[in-house]
Structure 1
Amino acid sequence: MGTFPDKKSSDHIAVIGGGWAGCAAAVTLAKAGKRVSLFEAGRTLGGRARRVDIDGRTLDNGQHILLGAYRSTLSVMKTAGIDADRAMLRLPLQMRYPAGADGMDFVAPRLPAPWHVLAALFRATGLTREDKLALARFSTTARWMGWQLHEDCSVAELLDRFDQTDRLNRLMWTPLCIAALNTPPQRASAQVFLNVLRDSLGARRAASDMLIPRTDLTALFPQQAAAFVESRGGSVTCGQAVASISAAEGRWNVAFRQAAGTQSFDGVIVAVAPESAADLLDGLCDTTMLRAFAYEPITTCYLQYPAHVRLPQPFFALTDDAGIAAWGQFVFDRGQLGDVAADAGLLAVVVSAAGDAIAEGHAALVAGIAIQLARQLGDPLLQTPLWSKVISEKRATFSCTPGLLRPDNAGMPAGLALAGDYVAGDYPATLEGAVRSGVAAAGLFS
């Protein structure tokens, strides 16, 4: 990596892209005393985890769960003045299915690690003795291995190697793999999966907690990040797409699509999607890896029911079955999370790695999920929602396959850095992966 210019508190740094990586970079730079100009092409901050306004409703482009293990995310949120305990509902590690789903009920008690997992396993219902022994064997062996493989393989191969049962794979490991990596176990990286388990199941008890946003995703962090940057003398501009970046006498010129002329900066962080980053960086560095990613979709199906409809708990896992169009993997009761008056009766159903699910169209997806909810939750009313909306991010995440090569900042020109959930690191395409990359990119200018 080239030598960065002399670091000064007066450095003016441009951050291109207002997703979670860009916002994390901007907050970190502003905290360090840098002057920051953040540019976002869209009208709303947040990137692939943002607020959307549809039919007079405020929704998200995807329902998310964070983990207590997301140390970088929680740290940068605190810097931006966000009280995570108020902004998110904290629940213990759990995998709970409705009674009609032929599932399991696994809830970790408030005990020190690793006793919380062992106690949850002992108390779990819906698992046989063989299932429980297999899960205990996996956890023990993974710890003994230091959560590290000599050579990466698929999650399916790892589970087979550890003699995990079919039922445990179906009810526990496959949903966790898809939720964490958004890639089916047959082609998901076992090492990246182990990295996530290491930092959650293998760490202190609080690290395994599940954190569910109480507000929309833009308000959760990006909006507060923008306010923090502006309070430190920086600027945040939405609806401003960058056309090109060029070097000029030790500085960087940034040209915009909607306006003539350019602005000059001491440094630039590129925090946009891989293809867009490749276009901006073409001719400045090797963009081969940026153009080589395959992608996985995520779909969220929102279904509105009468306001009195309420799930027994904030969210459930669901058993999915493509053969009967039961596509849902998790269902969230939005009325128990945010503004109850506005969201009462609103359910959000997540379909990760959703390529097959959206192939037949949105109407068929909604119909299949509504029937799935009615059957598994034992409530015929759920078969006929009052209103529905399907939001699909066709390129929500990169396909996290074994041994995948990801770009880093080692070959970037001086004063130029890359940030995004696809940048090389331990994590898959998660909010934590994005934030970590943003913080690391900003650190290059400190």
Structure 2
Amino acid sequence: MSAAKTPGRVAVIGGGWAGCAAAVELAHAGCEVTLFEAARMLGGRARSVEVNGKLLDNGQHIMLGAYKETLRLLRLVGIKPADALLHLPLQMRYPPGSGMDFVAPRLPAPLHLVIALLRAKGLAREDKMALARFTTSARWMEWTLYNDCSVSELLERFDQTERLTALMWRPLCLAALNTPPERASAQVFLNVLRDSLGAHRAASDMLVPRLALSALFPAAAASFIEARGGHVHTGVRVESLQSGGGRWQLRAGAESPHFDAVVIATAPPAAAALLDGHGAAPIPEFDYEPITTCYLQYDAGVRLGLPFYALEEFPESQAFGQFVFDRGQLDHCQAGLLAVVISASGGAVELGQEALGAALAQQLASALQRAELAAPSWTKVITEKRATFACTPGLVRPGNETGLPGVYLAGDYTAGAYPATLEGAVRSGSAAVLAVLQRTAIA
């Protein structure tokens, strides 16, 4: 596209991963970008916070090798994924003596899954046959359902065993969709499996951030934008939009700048408020699921056998943890710090922060058979109450187009194949920018 067709000025409202992705793509395309974020720090629901003198993430994240758009944008803004992310083969590993031990070797697909299944420990023959049957049938179906249903219904349809469901499918569904299997979309779950299990071997790799989330992408994105003549404003809330003369005026603090196009990358309620009264396509109301991460600090010499373990959850015994990460194996400055993740954590947060921290410490001590883990020096529970939308069967999600000329939506809740993940957010930002540039090219 020629420089003459590039929109002169574009505003991006919202500095989460979708907004940062959109702003980076616009800057890369030669647009003059201004990014507005109401909070003091970029990153949205995937950002860093200071706790007891440490810079911690507001939630422990894990990515997949299939996250092509995220990896591409990291490289674009100068982040090297090989250095910034710990690359691990696909695995579901529980503490020794419990659960199962499933690790895919670094072999070409699908041989890596076949070998992993043959070597898997903690699964009976019928469990392994069920897993093989599911993956073979999903490939034959091309990972597509004629009619969406819940993940639980899908697993029942393919005769998945109770043990395999508890140890593999349920934790994978919670981690990917942050929605319990009995309410989660089977088609969206299959989309994630298609791009990871059903693709080349590296696509199924598990990528754990070594950098704080804010440093992993948002901070580098801001530098990229400003280096190309753009502007990044944090702590500035956009109050309203006004159209006139083919352009859009924003009321942001004491300023009222004009722009040729606007990308709204806020949460759905805030986006709906900005569009109210303009005749835009309505944004549906979503149900939300929380995610809780509990940080537990121990002596610097405390170290797990692996960078992370899956945990068996027993809510009736207040054992809510689903995964535990050894932060010291990701960042040497965080030695002795463990992070326990609870997806769809509504029941767990009812305990209260102090009681939940104590319960998770006890769960670690029991699961890992290490009594010292029952007594951390401190704990910090961080819950994102509206971490993701509930990814239910047949959920209708809005597209990037708002019906207003020059105004577009970006966010992990917009229409797409993925659930509310970092990749889903980044893809939506890129799609919104493509819409901006296509409209300009046609005009």
Same fold, TM exceeding 0.5?
A: yes
- Matched with 2:423 is 432
1:32 alignment counterpart: 29
Deviation at 1:445, TM superposition (A): 2.1
Instruction: Tell me the distance in 2 between the aligned counterparts of 1:37 and 1:421.
Output: 21
Provide, for residues 204-258 of structure 1, a one-character-per-residue CA deviation record: whole Å limited to 9, x for no partner. 00000000000100000010011000111101110001100111110000001x3
Residue 297 of structure 2 corresponds to residue 304 of structure 1: yes
1:116 alignment partner in structure 2: 112
Aligned mates of 1:410, 1:379 — CA distance in 2: 54
What's the Cα RMSD here?
1.1
- Asked if the contact 2:400–2:428 (Cα under 8 Å) also holds between the matched residues in 1, the reply is no
Give the letter for the 1:270 counterpart.
I
Partner residue, 2:388: 397
Q: Tell me how far apart the structure 2 counterparts of residues 243 and 153 of structure 1 sit (CA, whole Å).
A: 39
Aligned equivalent of 2:95: 98
Post-superposition offset of 1:329:
0.3
The AA in structure 2 aligned to 1:62 is G
How far the C-alpha of 1:183 sits from its partner, in A, is: 0.1
- The AA in structure 2 aligned to 1:309 is V
Query: Quick one: distance in 1 between partners of 2:407 and 2:401?
Result: 11
**TM-score, with structure 2 as normaliser:** 0.97
The residue type paired with residue 38 of structure 1 is L
**Alignment match, 1:265:** 259
Partner SS for 2:46:
coil
- Measured after TM superposition, the shift of residue 411 of structure 1 is 4.1
The equivalent residue for 1:75 is: 72
Q: Which residue of 2 aligns with 1:441?
A: 432
- Cα shift readout 1:246-287 (whole Å, capped 9, x = no counterpart): 11110000001x32x411000000000011111111122446
How far apart are residue 360 of structure 1 and its match? 1.6
Question: For residue 15 of structure 2, what is the aligned residue in structure 1?
Answer: 18
1:47 is matched with 44
Match of 1:376?
367
CA distance in 2, matches of 1:284, 1:426: 29
Q: Compute the displacement of 1:33 (Å).
A: 0.5
Shift in Å, 1:7:
6.8
Aligned-partner residue type, residue 39 of structure 1? F
Kindly provide the CA deviation profile for residues 327-379 of structure 1, in whole angstroms up to 9, marking residues without a partner as x: 100000000001x1x20000000000000000121111111111110011110
8 Å Cα contact 2:408/2:436 also seen in 1: no
Asked whether the 8 Å contact 1:289–1:405 carries over to 2, the reply is no
For residue 407 of structure 1, give the secondary structure of its aligned residue in structure 2.
Answer: coil
1:209 maps to which of 205, 208, 226: 205
Matched, 1:346 2:340: no
Which range is displaced more, 6-15 or 306-315? 6-15
Q: Residues 318 and 412 of structure 1: is their aligned pair in 2 closer, same or farther, counting only changes over 3 Å?
A: same
Aligned to 2:323: 330
Structure 1 runs not aligned, ≥5 long: 1-5
Shift of 1:409: 2.7
Q: Distance in 2 between matches of 1:125 and 1:137?
A: 18
Counterpart for residue 156 of structure 1: 152
Deviation at 1:63, TM superposition (A): 0.3
Q: Which runs of 4+ in 1 moved over 3 A?
A: 285-290
Aligned length: 435
The Cα shift of 1:444 comes to 1.6
1:277 maps to a residue whose letter is A
Distance between the aligned counterparts of 1:57 and 1:117, measured in 2? 38
Letter in 1 for 2:416: G
Counting only pairs closer than 5 Å after superposition, residues 165-314 of structure 1 correspond to structure 2 as 165-256=161-252, 258-259=253-254, 261-286=255-280, 288-290=282-284, 292-314=285-307
- Which of 60, 64, 69 matches 1:63? 60
